[in-house]
Structure 1
Amino acid sequence: MMPASSESPRIATVARVTGETNVKVTVNLDGTGKCEVNTGVPFLDHMLHQLCSHGLLDLHIQAQGDYEIDDHHTNEDVGITLGMAIAKAIGERKGIQRFGHFVAPLDEALVQIALDFSGRPHLSYGLEIPTERVGTYDTQLVREFFVAIVNHAQMTIHMRQLDGINSHHIIEATFKAFARAMRMALEIDPRRAATIPSSKGVL
């Protein structure tokens, strides 16, 4: 992805501390896929590596949470903080393509993502994950992660599972599709590099 200008790299850091978690995220939207993440939730780390690799984001995430209870708070708060960092890095959203879509296959799984950096949070969640866990990861947390991202990055996501019977494959295809769709949406449109992609003039 090309930055809006060489003088304004799209990089942001957000730290969020609660009574349950301590999360710090740095994101570079114009990166090369560098991924240094340690959330304490191994499967979530694996999925964040997909975001970096296929979205060409550079991510540095350090998180500590109340794992003795479960992974819910850490999973959610990583999503919240990452969403906040993405929104901060985009700024006024000038010049971005705004819309992105991708269909990602992973073996028998096929997942479609369509998204809009609209400034209006909405998630249409269409996954049917057949098992309650992948390893130690509660598969209900996939939806919670994307709810957090949507609300704090101020974006719309429509997510559809077109095929799939293996939980790991379905989730990983989802993150890969999200990564590629987000990369598309955040690329700079050279025809409107200094303007906001909305007839209203604001997102």
Structure 2
Amino acid sequence: MSGARLTHGAGESNVATGMPVLDHLLALLARAGRFDLTLEIEPDEPAAEVDAAGAALGLAVAPLLRPGAHGAGTMPADEALAMVVLEASGVPLVAANADLTGASGLGTDMAARFLRALADAARLTLHVRLIEGEDTDHVLAAIFKALGVALADATSRP
């Protein structure tokens, strides 16, 4: 059974996507955003697992967002620095300046796939900016941590 549960909490996570790197990144997202996250994806091809994980998180976060809610987060991971700004606009869109093709061994940009699926499911406009960073592991970590902070910001505002 695939699905996710997301609540404000202590940053605890129990994630099983079938991709250890994505599990790690989602744990970083939960910790940075202080969310308790449970997410499990049925085994499939790697690209389908990434899509399913993004969609599951989007469906879990959507009820926490009021229309027009917005949030921003800027986070480091070693030499990398990333910023994510989002709005619950009802118009799914991802605008990013980072191309991480091949970073996960998929031959595609896993982060972009995940973010597109998240934006589609939660109907978010996401802007992702890589400010600094060369090491792809650090860049991915910074992006997912910044996303966690931005989601926390958007879901905690009255």
Q: Structure 1-normalised TM-score? A: 0.71
SS at match of 1:127: coil
Structure 1: segments with no counterpart, 5+ residues: 1-21, 190-203
Deviates more, 1:98-107 or 1:152-161: 98-107
Identity of aligned residues (%): 30
- Distance between the aligned counterparts of 1:106 and 1:26, measured in 2? 26
Structure 2: segments with no counterpart, 5+ residues: none
Q: Which residue of 2 aligns with 1:109?
A: 80
* 1:182-202 deviation line (CA, Å, top 9, x unaligned): 11111132xxxxxxxxxxxxx
More helix by share: 2
2:154 to 174, 180, 185: 185
Q: Which residue of 2 aligns with 1:54?
A: 32
Q: Which residue of 2 aligns with 1:24?
A: 3
8 Å contact kept, 1:39–1:61: yes
SS at match of 2:10: coil
2:64 to 90, 102, 106: 90
Q: Which residue of 2 aligns with 1:201?
A: none
Q: Which residue of 1 aligns with 2:89?
A: 118
With over 3 angstroms needed to count, the CA separation of the structure-2 counterparts of 1:138 and 1:25, relative to structure 1, is farther
SS at match of 1:65: coil
- Distance between the aligned counterparts of 2:108 and 2:12, measured in 1? 26
- Distance between the aligned counterparts of 2:79 and 2:99, measured in 1? 14
Determine which structure has greater relative contact order: mean sequence separation of CA pairs < 8 Å that are 6+ residues apart, divided by chain length.
2
1:170 to 124, 139, 150: 139
Post-superposition offset of 1:133 = 3.2
With over 3 angstroms needed to count, the CA separation of the structure-2 counterparts of 1:150 and 1:45, relative to structure 1, is same
Post-superposition offset of 1:177 = 0.7
With over 3 angstroms needed to count, the CA separation of the structure-2 counterparts of 1:166 and 1:24, relative to structure 1, is same
